[in-house]
Amino acid sequence: MEREQASSPQLCETGCGFFANVGCGGLCSKCHRELARAAAASQPKPAVEQSFAKPAQETQPVSEPGASPAPEASTSSSSDAAPKMATRCLECKKKVGLTGFKCKCGNIFCGQHRYAESHDCPFDYKGVHKEKLASSNPVVQASKVQKI
């Protein structure tokens, strides 16, 4: 008899008309989800998130005594805006999201424009490689042989 009572379906405690789930504390999945969202919204931010957010807003550059207060106001407004990461190809403006390729020139490109030749990259690959070769291969000179 106890098995029949335990396995019989029960309605949600909130009275919404759906069947309750034992894992959700006698609520249906919809009411349980709404209750969890309300609880998460009412809780304050965790200390970890607050500690990361505060230093960016509170930290201001040390200014000289004769400096005007106008630059400080502009720095506080720029710290409020979240830094946006470019998620579009610089050439074709296609959304690339996480699959974008970052070039040595500092821009993000799609799969078609990822090569330096396809987006007219201003980065000097030839000069960088020349400097790398020069630093890794120093000039070697043989010692002179004295004539007899």
Nearest to 103 by CA among 116, 86, 91: 116
Task: Tell me how far apart the alpha carbons of residues 33 and 38 are, in angstroms, rounded to a whole number.
Answer: 9
What are the Cα distances from residue 69, in Å, to 49, 75, 85? 29, 10, 30
pTM of the model: 0.36
**pLDDT value at 83 more than 80:** no
> Residue 111: how many CA atoms within 13 Å on its side-chain side?
2
What length is written for the chain?
A: 148
> Which residue type does 77 have?
S
**pLDDT value at 70 more than 70:** no
> Which residue type does 139 have?
V
Structural domains in the chain plus CATH codes = 10-42 (no CATH), 86-133 (4.10.1110.10)
pLDDT of residue 47: 54
CB 103 within 8 A of CB 121: yes
Of the segments 15-24, 82-91, 109-118, which one has the largest average pLDDT value? Answer: 109-118
Nearest to 111 by CA among 97, 125, 126: 97
**pLDDT tens track for 121-137:** 899 999 999 999 989 98
Taking residues 24-30, report their average pLDDT.
85
